[in-house]
Amino acid sequence: MARELTVALVQMQPKLGSVEDNLNKMVELITKIATKERVDLVVFPELVTSGTELGLRFTEMAQRVPGMVVNMLSQRAQDFGVYIAFGMATKEKVESVLYNSAVLIGPEGDVVETYHKLHLKGEERMVFREGFRLQTAETEFGAFGLMLGSDLAFPEVARCAAMEGAEVMLVMANWEASEMDAWKVYLRSRALENAVYTIGVNRVGTDVTQAFGGESMVVGPRGQIIGTLADHTDEKTGEPKEGYLVVKIDLDDVRRTREDTQAIQMRQPVAYKSIVRKY
């Protein structure tokens, strides 16, 4: 019997600085998708509850896990029996410590995993603290790797997740429209080099100075594009627009691909020592 996973990729434009509006929109979209068709997993972009260009205002937007945002989405996960993955600004008990985080909620409403972004870019470094470990999330479908935005540019992240047993990489992003060639190459490369599925969900719209490029997609373990929102654009402007895509994937194809390509088995880690040097 095939191990199938049906995933909904939600390409959304958050309203900058309005957690309540964004959360209500997420709830409406989950309800709309899950009542239309049977899905196992719903994935939203990075920092979807707040938007990204907030600077020090992130101290007001950040929430604990669990907290109001997680509790409301946990209820929806439980209502529809789905996993929900999304990005948000989180804080620890020490109020001044903020993280750019990915959260995965399970179908029982439980927090399966929280991941803090490792590779902070530009102004993020002024607001957030870097994460300190890579994590895989154990689910009834197997292990998922979690990545946020610029983590995608570092092959070590997906490789470590694959070595921990991940067959699916969930990539939640705020990827800029000017860098979409890199987005597509990275997603396909991470999938191909590890023989995993990459599920890349990118936001659309603009914040203050940044415009985001959409093109959310699912890439298979041979690097093939299985589904994409690349053509989901405004007819007049050609700019990417909000929408969602539902794709069914066969997780057994990861095992078959690895047997065919020997992508993992041919590794020679003894020769890779320089990878873990800081400089």
pLDDT given for residue 92 in this prediction: 87
CB 54 within 8 Å of CB 80: no
Q: What is the pLDDT of residues 216-266, one digit of tens each?
A: 999 999 999 999 999 999 989 999 999 999 999 999 999 999 999 998 889
Give residue 2's pLDDT band: very low, low, confident or very high (50, 70, 90): low
pLDDT given for residue 122 in this prediction: 87
Type of residue found at 129 = R
Give residue 278's pLDDT band: very low, low, confident or very high (50, 70, 90): confident
Q: What is the DSSP letter of 162?
A: H
Q: What is the pLDDT of residues 199-223, one digit of tens each?
A: 999 999 999 999 999 999 999 999 9
CB 134 within 8 Å of CB 118: yes
Q: What residues form DSSP beta bridges with 138?
A: 143
Give the list of residues 6+ apart from residue 135 with CB closer than 8 angstroms, or none. Answer: 113, 115, 146
User: What percent of the chain lies above the pLDDT cut of 70?
Assistant: 99
Q: Tokens in use for 276? A: 């873990």
- Region 142-155: mean pLDDT is 97
CATH class of 4-270: alpha beta
Q: What is the pLDDT of residues 89-105, one digit of tens each?
A: 999 877 689 999 999 99
Give residue 276's pLDDT band: very low, low, confident or very high (50, 70, 90): confident
Q: What is the pLDDT of residues 156-198, one digit of tens each?
A: 999 999 999 999 999 999 999 999 999 999 999 999 999 999 9
pLDDT at 1 over 70: no
Tell me which residue of 269, 192, 179, 181 sits closest to 224, measured CA to CA. 192
pLDDT at 8 over 80: yes
Q: What is the DSSP letter of 118?
A: S
SS3 215: coil
Q: Kindly report the average pLDDT of the chain as a whole number.
A: 95
94-106 burial, b at 16+ Cβ within 10 Å, e below that, comes to eeeebbbbbbbbb
Q: What is the pLDDT of residues 100-139, one digit of tens each?
A: 999 999 999 999 999 999 999 988 999 999 999 998 999 9
Tell me which residue of 203, 183, 199 sits closest to 191, measured CA to CA. 199
Q: What does each C-alpha distance from 24 to 109, 160, 259 come to in angstroms?
A: 17, 35, 44
Look at the block and give the residue holding tokens 């095992």: 255
CA distance 34 to 15: 23
Q: What is the DSSP letter of 274?
A: G
CA distance 173 to 146: 11
Phi, psi of 194 (to 5 degrees): -115, -5
Q: Any idea where the domains of the chain sit in the sequence?
A: 4-270
pLDDT at 60 over 80: yes
Type of residue found at 71 = N
Q: What is the DSSP letter of 14?
A: P
Q: Rounded to two decimals, what is the model's pTM?
A: 0.96
